[in-house]
Structure 1
Amino acid sequence: MGKLSTHVLDVTQGKPGAGVKLALYVIKGNEKVLLKNAVTNSDGRCDAPLLQGDEFVTGRYELVFGAGDYFAGQGVELPAPRFVDEVVIAFGIADAAQNYHVPLVVSPWSYSTYRGS
């Protein structure tokens, strides 16, 4: 069985994004169902996989990262409203036998992601 994991990289400071709040949702039709809330550790990662075992199934998901709150907590001067605030990454899991790693590379002005393993 595979698993789902994530981490946050703060490219503004060149370090892991520690203390970033995130939420994981599964998308069922037009409904978003909250599966888990988590906070990244000092390495910018979650202490355990977000999904694994019987919980890790094919489907559509969203990760929502509190990037704006993270940068505000770091003392970064941000405009009002924030340009990057909540970062929503919508993705699909097509094969539950594989590992899916969905990182967030973020600054107050941009973000990107990719599928890792």
Structure 2
Amino acid sequence: MSEAEKPKKATIVAWSDDLDKVYPQLILATTAAAYDVEVTVFVTFWGLLAFKKKNVGITGKDWMTKMMGFMKKGHTSRLKISQMNMGGMGTWMMRQIFKHEKVASLETLIEMAMMSGIKFIPCQMTMDAFGLK
């Protein structure tokens, strides 16, 4: 099989729920898919929280995992930036800049990724440890 005939594949590890880390992970994934690359995103640890549904309540199987579910509720709308958050002001400013520059929202990027056939594989060990289903 020649190099040109080999399928192009990429695996991206999504490990963080920081807004400024989730964006590059999804941008890389959707861009690669647009170039006909078969993309898999392995989602682990705090990265799982970025993909939680918005209206999911406290998750967990015991008091410790329920407490973590209470403290880190998850969903793209709750993500903060890792640097210069400034009590939420930095996150708000970043979201406003992205909106003004017409950068796709995380929700849109996730939808695009799913429509592009990108595979999301959640880490079962982390899901068990956090009490997620």
The structure number with the bigger radius of gyration is 2
Structure number with the higher strand fraction is 1
Question: What TM-score does the superposition give when structure 2 sets the normalisation length?
Answer: 0.23
Q: Please, what TM-score do these two structures have when normalized by structure 1? A: 0.25
